[in-house]
Amino acid sequence: MIGSIGMMPLNYRTSCTSTKDTTSAQESTAQLKTVSWSEVMDGTAPTASIVVPKDAEDRAAMNAYFADYFARNPGTHEDQPDLNETMTSEEWQTLAEKYDPSSMTQKQYDALLDDLLDMGAINAEDLQILGHSAYQGMVKLTAENAFTCTVLNNEDLPVGGFVPKFEHGASRVNLWAWVQEEKSWKVYDEEQNNWVPSHKAEAFGQIYDILQGMRAYG
C-alpha cells in the first residue's frame, strides 16, 4: 500500500470505496490547499491539506516516512474478550435492568462502556473508536485507519440505513441501529486476499453480541 500513495489529506480519513454520501467531503476537498511533502516536514503546511509530492525525491521521502511509521505502528490489536468467560449471569442481569439500548444519551452510553470495561467485556484500547466521549479526538494513526480501502456491506445495515449519532448532534441514539451499521464496515486484508471486518467493526461487533446477551436477560 505504501508504494501506491500518491496524495493524501492530512487529518482526513481516506476511503477507497463506500456507499456514504460523498458530496460534503468532495466540497471540503475542493477547498483544501495542495502542498508538497517537504512542506509537511518543514511544518509550513496547514492542516487538512492535500499532499501531492512535487517530484520523485519528494515522493520517496514521503513513502519512506510512512513505511517507517507503520512498521512501528502496525495497527495490531487485542482479540475481543470471550463473553462466555468474562460475563456472569448477574452481570448480564445488571446490564439488562440498567440500560435501554433503544434510546441512550451520550452520558448513558459512556456509563455502559465504563461498566463493560470494568466487567472485562471490552478492551480499554477500543474506548475511542467505540465513541466514549472522554476519548473523542484521540486517534492513533495506523495503516488500517489511514490508507486501507474500506467498503460497507449493505446487507448488514439496519432497516432505514444510516442513523444519527452523537457526533452528528443527536441527543439520543438507538444503539442497536448504530452498532449494526458500524459492524458492517470491511477492510481489504492483503495477506488474506479478502475483505474482513475492520478493527472498529470488530469492536462494535462485540457491543452487538453484548446487546444480544442483555436482550436474553431483559
The pLDDT value given to residue 14: 34
Name the residue among 104, 76, 123 with its Cα closest to residue 175: 104
Residue 8: its pLDDT value, please? 42
Dihedral sign (CA 118, 124, 129, 135): positive
The reported pTM is 0.65
pLDDT of residue 17: 39
pLDDT at 140: 58
Measured between alpha carbons, how far is residue 9 from residues 5, 14, 15, 37 in Å? 11, 8, 11, 11
Predicted pLDDT at 136: 77
Per-block average pLDDT, block size 10, for the chain (218 residues)? 37 38 43 78 74 87 74 71 96 97 97 98 93 77 57 70 84 94 83 83 96 93
> What pLDDT, on a 0 to 100 scale, did the predictor assign at position 149?
62
Report the sign of the C-alpha dihedral through residues 112, 113, 115, 120, in that order: positive
The pLDDT value given to residue 110: 98
| Residue 122 contacts residue 211 (beta carbons within 8 Å) | no
pLDDT score of 167: 85
